[in-house]
């Protein structure tokens, strides 16, 4: 596997498909997949379930934990894909502390497409349009120099194939 694929971040707002694409991408490249949501504190989960957006303080320990996971997997020579919102540039910088060569796939989509996806998903602690709007307002989309951005209207396989092809050109 190409070195830059040892540490991959699949990022985007809620409803973009981070978990689904991340799992499939990890399987394709022979990596472990971790859903960042599984590493939120109970307090963060309760806050989101109440419809309250997380602030930087809420995210600090969570992001440090994820950076540590990248560092640990790298130290053991094991590839890792994490699905994480990573909304701000500084959040992605924190993750890079654990993986300086982090390859980033940004799942980009319109509010309407995202909201439609969230409406059909009932098994998640994320609470609706208000929280999506908060995430979209917080989002600092990565530039082409930071990530490979792919439209979520494409099929999961098209997204993975395009990411792998574009990543191999870098």
Write out pLDDT tens, residues 32-86. Answer: 999 998 999 999 888 877 878 788 899 899 999 999 999 999 999 999 999 999 9
SS3 call for 153: coil
Question: Tell me, what CATH number does 42's domain have?
Answer: 3.40.50.300
Write out pLDDT tens, residues 127-157. Answer: 567 778 888 999 999 999 999 999 999 999 9
Residue pair 69/98 in contact by the 8 Å Cβ criterion = yes
- Distance, CA of 121 to CA of 30 (rounded, Å): 28
How many independent structural domains does the chain possess? 1
- The torsion angle over the Cα atoms of residues 115, 51, 136 and 16, rounded to 10 degrees, is -50
pTM across the whole model = 0.90
| Domain coverage including residue 90 | 3-169
The contacts of residue 152 (CB under 8 Å, 6+ apart) are 12, 16, 17, 107, 108, 109, 113, 114, 159
């Amino acid at each position: 596997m190409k070195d830059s694929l040892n540490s991959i971040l699949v990022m985007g707002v809620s409803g973009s498909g981070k978990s689904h694409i991340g799992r499939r991408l990890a399987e394709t490249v022979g990596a472990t997949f971790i859903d960042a949501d599984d590493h939120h504190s109970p307090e963060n989960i309760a806050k989101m379930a109440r419809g309250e957006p997380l602030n930087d303080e809420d995210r600090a320990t969570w992001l440090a934990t994820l950076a540590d996971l990248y560092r640990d997997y790298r130290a053991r020579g094991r590839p890792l894909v994490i699905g994480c919102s990573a909304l701000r540039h500084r959040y992605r910088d924190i993750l890079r502390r654990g993986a300086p060569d982090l390859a980033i796939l940004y799942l980009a989509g319109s509010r309407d497409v995202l909201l439609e996806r969230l409406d059909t998903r009932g098994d998640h602690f994320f609470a609706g349009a208000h929280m999506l709007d908060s995430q979209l307002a917080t989002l600092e989309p990565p530039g082409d120099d930071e990530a490979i951005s792919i439209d979520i209207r494409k099929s999961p396989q098209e997204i993975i194939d395009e990411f792998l092809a574009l990543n191999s050109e870098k």
